[in-house]
Amino acid sequence: MNMVQHILKGFQRVMEISLHSLEKGMNFQEFEEKLWEIMNGVGKDILKAVLEARDQEIWQEKERRFTWEVVRKNNSRTILTLFGDVTYQRTYYRNKSTGEYLHLLDEQAGFKKRRRIDPPAGSSDFRKSH
């Protein structure tokens, strides 16, 4: 399923929950919690799809092929984001001239090696609010 369809499905679920809450007399707090859960799920799915789409774009770049070779695809990584944990797949590369190993997606996204926290989720303002 492509990203747009998945997002639309998430918003369709929001509308269904809204109608259900009106029909069944769900109180506001229950509705708000359910809405939060659904929106977080959609947010996580969007982040995962964007990261994996960018990884695919990097893999297809002609310039990259001259300097970097694929070591393995579908390396899993989990990061903590504002929406919670997001697990995505990325490609591991080796530089043909220097021998350096790198996940080019993580480098471009600004993720530090062996850290689980996305920069906004690691901010003190975020930690105070959660």
Residue pLDDT, tens place only, 47-66: 999 999 999 999 999 999 99
Q: What is the pLDDT of residue 28?
A: 83
Domain that holds residue 77: 3-129
Q: What is the pLDDT of residue 118?
A: 55
How many domains does the chain contain in total?
Answer: 1
Strand order in the sheet with 84-95: 68-81, 84-95, 101-102
Give the C-alpha distances (Å, rounded to integers) separating 44 from 10, 25, 96, 111, 117. 11, 29, 34, 17, 14
Q: Which residues of the chain have pLDDT under 70?
A: 1, 116-130
pLDDT tens-digit readout, 17-26: 778 777 777 7
Q: What is the pLDDT of residue 6?
A: 73
Q: What does pTM read for this prediction? A: 0.77
